[in-house]
Structure 1
């Protein structure tokens, strides 16, 4: 193998003097923009004010980023307490999607209460946007060469029929790795497609599309996380993301069951 022939992508998009713009931020921003467009169009169809998601995102985006960073730092505190200056360096990576979900959901709940709107309606509208944004955002991890799995051979990656641009980017410090960012991105794209189809052809109870998103994402993340080598750990063998995914999945199932049971009791 002639490693000198391996061409990799630069995670820096461009620079202006001392100001550096990373592909990670651009890709995350693109995911947010597409998600906003999708949610805005759907909210118009459902008769909500046209600026409702613009107003919501003014609060939800910064709060979600902060909560995603806090979540990550809490589980890496042994490192960050010795490197306080790096706490704000989110351009280096180190935000956790589960933290963003928690912050975003709480923000949306408070926002809906303040506006006199249904939280579940807003959540259903946002569900496809969320999983699409996550699918796109994983390519930021690709540019940073992070969120990958264990070591594999180049032959393994070639047998997946991956283009050279992905295979070469998975060559990190002398070895090739599982492109788990890609596995999760593809899983989320499939989930996005299913959510859009379900929304169009099946009548669900308000909130169930969002809970379906939680179940779909959590199920896939649980297994994909098991392949990763950079997981936040609770113990030597227990991954934080797997525990949270399991809790999210069970909570979503129980909420659907409880709300449907309550509805049946009202009809008696």
Structure 2
């Protein structure tokens, strides 16, 4: 007999009028893990850990702002009518591509000021961002968002999901495709793959781990986005994230091919400009 449960409570802790949402807790957990992993790898590549901490402190607020502005921009008719909702990120509604664009700008500026190789810094951080994204998608799960088309209970049981995940996919009276889970699993697989091979000698030149992340993520995101029913649209029938995914994949592949032919340091050589530390 299958036990019928209600949807999970999106609020983790309620302290009077202050509500701490699982969405924020889960995203913060992903960020903390990413910071820990990035600082450990930075020391191996002769990059002062302080640089990673500074980058995180500078990029996080801008990434959050970028993610929200990106989402709001493509949902402007709604937010124009409900301006008080623009800052209500605890209700969901942040776009990872907006966060990545904003954070990348911060990284580039910081690396130039500190005389660090932006490619090396991106290589160090990229796989940790991937696992943070994988964890963060479970915040969408708690908010019952980032889901796909209507499906059947039999299908969800058939892919061997636990009951509590299946029940959370019961949204507005219908079971939904757990596209949040598909993207999370894709990112976990990419994280494991990159972390397994990145220390092989003469496999990666500086910049290629970051470019691998971009290609892996954009490839998977293109297909997952096509399954979602809550996508952002630039025009009717034109999903923003699919367009961005194609552009990023092609740009990353082209950059990889170009840089592979250039005299570029290997990733394992680390920070050749140690005086910048």
Identify whether the pair has TM-score above 0.5, normalized to the shorter chain.
Answer: yes
Which residue matches 1:90? 89
Partner residue of 2:142?
143
- Structure 1 residue 252 and structure 2 residue 255: aligned? no
Which runs of structure 1 show a deviation greater than 3 angstroms over 4 or more consecutive aligned residues? 261-264
TM-score (norm. length: structure 1) = 0.95
**Distance in 2 of aligned mates of 1:202 and 1:63:** 35
The aligned counterpart of 2:8 is 9
RMSD (CA atoms)? 1.5
1:38 aligns with 2:40: no
Q: Give the whole-Å Cα distance in 2 for the aligned partners of 1:172 and 1:113.
A: 47
Post-superposition CA distance 1:185-219 (Å, at most 9, x none): 00000000111112122531100100000000000
Give the whole-Å Cα distance in 2 for the aligned partners of 1:5 and 1:100.
Answer: 37
Q: In 1, are the aligned partners of 2:68 and 2:95 still within 8 Å (CA)?
A: yes
- After TM superposition, the structure 1 stretch with the greater mean CA deviation from structure 2, 202-211 or 147-156, is 202-211
**Following superposition of structure 1 onto structure 2, how do residues 1-268 of structure 1 map, counting pairs within 5 Å?**
5-203=4-202, 204-263=204-263
| Residues 252-261 or 98-107, more deviating | 252-261
After superposition, what is the alpha-carbon deviation per residue over 1:36-64, rounded to whole angstroms, capped at 9, x for unaligned? Answer: 00000000111111221111111110000
Q: Using the alignment, how far apart are the partners of 2:49 and 2:69 within structure 1?
A: 32
Higher RCO (CA 8 Å, separation ≥ 6 residues)? 2
Match of 2:268 in 1: none
Q: Is the 8 A contact 2:5 2:164 kept in 1?
A: no
Query: Post-superposition shift, 1:263?
Result: 3.6
Q: List runs of 5+ in structure 2 lacking aligned partners.
A: 265-277
Task: Give the secondary structure class of the aligned counterpart of 2:234.
Answer: coil
